[in-house]
């Protein structure tokens, strides 16, 4: 039981019993000694209630039950032995008061038991939180020390801040194909490696993804995980140098290694996803400090590679392209088919606008998408078509006339800013089509819009009553 402090300890029945008997004896004795105050029965509430409450609150069960029982019996005896009614049966009110003394002791004891158990649980949680906080504090201090040491080493590097920024900025790319050579550029720049390569795990083999230089004598396309130095990297998940191999197997066996240093690329779970190998390095650069710097570069590269992989996976799921912000062709056709079926089932309006621009660079196409998005709603969809240079604007709940208004605004936007736009956008053509019940699918609807495409007579010079190259 919990005693008067906040700590849980074994229940001691003797002090509780002594306190109970002492309280009852004092009150009963006072009721017998004071003249004309037999048992203090005239007091309401009776003093025995305070004894029961005090013992129950301090000791809890079973002391509360004992105090309630003893107080109830004492009260009944005082009523039964009172001078004006010796040995008369107890009335219903007196019996009820005796029972309530016992019940009160039990209820208050159980309430105290629950409260103290909750307090003990909270105290245990507090201790766990305090231990966790202490551990976090220790880790935070260690992190600060590591951060200070890393900052010191980075400052001591011969490369300038401009070089560091130029090379490290390449690691922010969301495309893994561009990230592989960027990682090797870091190794070449800061370790002065003359030859290095990046391998990724592929079906229990390591396949070459990038190399510096791109062609190097003796560099395998597929590297076996059983290679001594690389095998140690995969097993221990750390940077391993040729010096480690010499200490482990001796110089004769280590001389067969074609790699001077290698380190792992790890995912957030600590699993190896790839290996970066250094094939040629100046002898004076093969130092423990550079090995630690190599490990730091690989940790940085691992984070960048994981981020780029997540970006590519997200784009694959959503079908959105990184350069233009428009949906890929496959995803676009799926969305168009879904909107077509919704329009047919619920008799809703649906319009599509096909935008044709020939030979458009990616940056220009992204700008065109931005212009179109400016004049559309959030629910509208912009996507690529399988034909190069074609975009489609899917406008749910939009009648043909409203679609013409949106297309006209896009054309007017392109005309108003023709001096600031790329010359490729001057040959933009738009075709509009709307849903009708006689159409058999989304493809005929799209074909109608494509059929309506007509090249303008002159770039961005509208006919009498329509925007440039806007046909439907």
Write out the DSSP string of 177-243.
Answer: HHHHHHHHHHHHHHH--SEEEEEEEETTEEEEEEEESS--TT--SEE-TTSHHHHHHHHH-S-EEHH
- Residues 376 and 406: beta-carbon distance below 8 Å: yes
Each residue's pLDDT tens digit, 219-278: 888 887 666 788 888 888 899 888 888 887 777 665 667 788 999 999 888 888 899 999
Q: Kindly indicate the confidence band of residue 160, based on its pLDDT and cuts at 50, 70 and 90.
A: low
Domain boundaries, the chain: 13-127, 162-317, 329-471
Lowest-pLDDT range of 1-5, 6-10, 381-385, 448-452: 1-5
Chain centroid to Cα 369, Å, comes to 30
**CATH 3.30.450.40 is held by the domain 162-317:** yes
Mean pLDDT rounded to a whole number for the chain: 78
Cβ density class 110-146: b for 16+ within 10 Å, e for less? eebbeebeeeeeeeeeeeeeeeeeeeeeeeeeeeeee
More confident of the two residues 313 and 192:
192
- Full 3-state SS string of 224-279: CCCCHHHHHHHHHCCCEEHHHHHHHHCHHHHCCCCCCEEEEEECCCCCEEEEEEEE
Q: Does domain 329-471 bear CATH number 3.40.50.1370?
A: no
Dihedral of CA atoms 400, 406, 408, 410 in degrees, nearest 10, equals -150
Span 161-201, pLDDT tens digits: 666 677 677 787 777 778 888 889 888 888 888 999 999 98
């Amino acid at each position: 039981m919990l005693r008067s402090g906040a700590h849980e300890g074994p229940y001691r029945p003797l002090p509780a019993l002594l306190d109970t008997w002492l309280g009852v004896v004092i009150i009963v004795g006072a009721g017998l000694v004071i003249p004309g105050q037999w048992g203090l029965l005239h007091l309401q509430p009776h003093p025995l209630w305070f004894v029961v409450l005090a013992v129950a609150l301090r000791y809890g069960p079973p002391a509360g039950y004992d105090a309630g029982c003893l107080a109830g019996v004492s009260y009944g005896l005082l009523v039964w032995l009172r001078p004006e009614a010796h040995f008369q049966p107890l009335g219903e009110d007196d019996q009820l008061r005796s029972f309530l003394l016992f019940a009160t002791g039990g209820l208050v004891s159980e309430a105290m038991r629950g409260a103290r158990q909750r307090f003990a649980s909270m105290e245990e949680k507090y201790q766990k939180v305090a231990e966790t906080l202490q551990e976090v504090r220790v880790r935070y201090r260690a992190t600060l020390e590591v951060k200070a040491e890393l900052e010191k080493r980075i400052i001591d590097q011969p490369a300038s801040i401009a070089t560091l920024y130029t090379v490290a900025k390449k690691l922010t790319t969301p495309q893994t194909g561009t990230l592989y050579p960027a990682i090797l550029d870091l190794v070449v720049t800061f370790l002065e490696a003359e030859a290095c390569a990046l391998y990724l795990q592929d079906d229990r083999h390591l396949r070459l993804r990038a190399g510096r230089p791109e062609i190097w004598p003796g560099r395998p396309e597929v590297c076996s995980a059983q290679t001594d130095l690389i095998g140690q990297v995969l097993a221990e998940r750390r940077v391993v140098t040729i010096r480690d191999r010499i200490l482990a197997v001796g110089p004769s066996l280590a001389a067969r290694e074609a790699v001077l240093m290698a380190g792992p690329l790890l995912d957030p779970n600590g699993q190896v996803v790839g290996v970066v190998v250094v094939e040629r390095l100046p002898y004076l650069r093969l130092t423990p400090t550079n090995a630690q710097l190599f490990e730091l570069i690989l940790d940085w590269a691992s984070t960048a590679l994981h981020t780029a992989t997540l970006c590519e996976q997200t784009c694959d799921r959503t079908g959105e392209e990184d350069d233009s912000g428009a949906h890929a062709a496959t995803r676009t056709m799926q969305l168009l088919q879904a909107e077509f079926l919704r329009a047919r089932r619920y008799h809703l309006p649906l319009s599509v606008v096909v935008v044709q621009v020939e030979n458009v660079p990616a940056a220009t196409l992204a700008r065109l998408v931005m212009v179109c998005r400016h004049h559309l709603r959030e629910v509208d969809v912009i996507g690529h078509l399988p034909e190069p240079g074609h975009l489609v604007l899917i406008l749910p709940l939009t009648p043909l006339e409203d679609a013409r208004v949106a297309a006209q605004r896009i054309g007017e936007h392109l005309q108003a800013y023709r001096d600031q736009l790329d010359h490729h956008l001057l040959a933009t053509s738009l075709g509009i089509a709307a849903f009708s019940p006689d159409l058999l699918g989304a493809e005929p609807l799209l074909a109608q819009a494509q059929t309506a495409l007509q090249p303008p007579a002159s770039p961005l010079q509208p006919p009498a009553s329509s925007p440039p190259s806007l046909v439907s």
